[in-house]
Structure 1
């Protein structure tokens, strides 16, 4: 007579293999794998339930590489970018050559005003940060932003590619000991309108009398203007060429003018490890 325990183990293994075979596997662009059941495929998202759970999630198609369905069918949504387009990250500089050098990368811009989320605005905030480092720090040598951007361009590194690289890799590629990464959240919050008027008279006598019977001539001028308001938050991170985080801060700017981000950056840089007001 066969051992009942042995039969039970075989039966359990058989049921488990069937259960696993019925799983859908969602492969994400960042390398993650999600196992469970795809319950619906919509225009921009898929509905998904993890194995052993009941809660339904929505996964954006733009973040999915492919889905291996339990039926054996595979559906590809996005190709994973070939690593051949990324730079050869073997550093061409020594630690001694990178010593005390610092580079500022273009800032990531997040805004409800799409006119601001441009390459020009990214580099404008980058330049403001570099300028503040020149004025408000000591003991570090700033790499000019034009040199930084040229190196990134030569190696086909834009915002998306830079986000996939480690801080240490970026620092070594740029030939610096420190890199500054940052983001600016700049939201348009509306506008205020202002108006004014003034009255002039043809001669002083008529002005003094202000008589309706006067033969003098009265001229009234009016003008109006509007002021656009913004809410700004700046985040700055500084890493060294070994990947160690040295500074990680954010601050909401005071005031509503668009260019108030410059004073916020100045405040944060002054309190950085080499800043004039560091503790």
Structure 2
């Protein structure tokens, strides 16, 4: 092998190693408020924007922080972004005063729970209502552990939100301070359920047969029958977001993946986070 071929081989090996190292680089993750996840490299964070670049690209993209729920950095650190209310102008038709309900101290309201497929971004109104109702019933069931808090009736909560033009689709766009005025409560529990669905299959093989013994009792002949059964499985990969507010301030914020990947496993995460929240007192 001549020197040129040796140099070429070394260069190719170096490029391969470099490409492998870059491919294995850990990326930052931006979790948007619409539940979209962007894997990227964060370049800069300011009060208003986050600049990032996509894998394999040098072009920097600017994203408004109002669209971001959380950033999980490659280092393992996470940073949450609170929703901030903007100051409306006199010409803004949305600058109407928020209708305030009579304030009921030591009362907690459960907001509608967005339930969204993070892969397709499809939402389900039925599941959003079901999840809200499930969490509401959990609070009622544990009311003795929530004293002195009282849980606002779910019909009252949803009726007041409906009058204000708020539902599970735009609940994240409304500042918590406005929601507390609309609902007349000083405590709010807000949760979200994000999920993806994957398919898998399993195969099981069963053997059966009969043994035949020859006349001299020395040789054994066996006739085996092998049966294989396969089944398709559906896996639900959930992420539950759980936030609690008191007088406009976030006092508890956690995310949790259920231990199991079954259809209703998100309920277990809701119960787990509720029991570890600051409003829950063990009896």
Range class of TM-score, shorter chain: 0.5 to 0.7
- Greater share of helix: 1
Distance 1:266 1:195, change over 3 A: same
Is contact 2:190–2:243 with CA below 8 Å preserved after alignment?
A: yes
CA contact under 8 A between 1:107 and 1:183: conserved in structure 2? yes
- 1:138 corresponds in structure 2 to 146
1:166 has 2:171 as partner? no
Q: Aligned-pair distance for 1:103?
A: 0.9
Deviations 1:57-93 (A, max 9, x none): 5679xx9xxxxxxxxxxxxxxxx98417x7x414231
1:100 and 2:133 equivalent? no
Does the CA contact (< 8 Å) of 1:271 and 1:277 recur in 2?
no
CA distance in 1, matches of 2:182, 2:227: 61
Q: 1:166 to 1:59 in 2, by over 3 A?
A: same
The CA deviation at 1:229 is 0.6
The aligned residue for residue 232 of structure 2 is: 226
Whole-Å separation in 2 of the counterparts to 1:198 and 1:103: 58
Query: Are 1:148 and 2:157 matched, yes or no?
Result: yes
SS in 2 for 1:100: strand
The correspondence for 2:117, drawn from 111, 131, 136, is: 111
Q: 1:144 offset after TM fit, Å?
A: 2.9
What is the CA distance between 1:111 and its match in structure 2? 1.7
User: Does the aligned pair in 1 maintain the 2:203–2:228 contact within 8 Å?
Assistant: no
Unaligned runs of 5+ in 2: 1-57, 67-90, 213-225
CA RMSD of aligned residues (A): 3.6
Asked if 2 retains the 8 angstrom alpha-carbon contact of 1:90 and 1:173, the reply is yes
Alignment match, 1:83: 94
Residue 173 of structure 2 aligns to a residue whose secondary structure is coil
**With structure 2 as the length reference, what TM-score do the two structures score?**
0.54
Secondary structure of 2:112's aligned partner: coil
Aligned equivalent of 2:253: 248
The answer for unaligned runs of 5 or more in structure 1 is: 1-54, 64-79, 200-206, 212-219
User: Which has the larger Rg?
Assistant: 1
The answer to whether structure 1 residue 257 and structure 2 residue 266 are counterparts is no
Task: Write out aligned runs for 1:13-24 (5 A).
Answer: none
Distance 2:93 2:204 in 1: 58
TM-score (norm 1): 0.55
Question: What CA distance in whole angstroms lies between the structure 1 residues aligned with 2:93 and 2:192?
Answer: 27
Which position in structure 2 is the counterpart of 1:272? Answer: 277
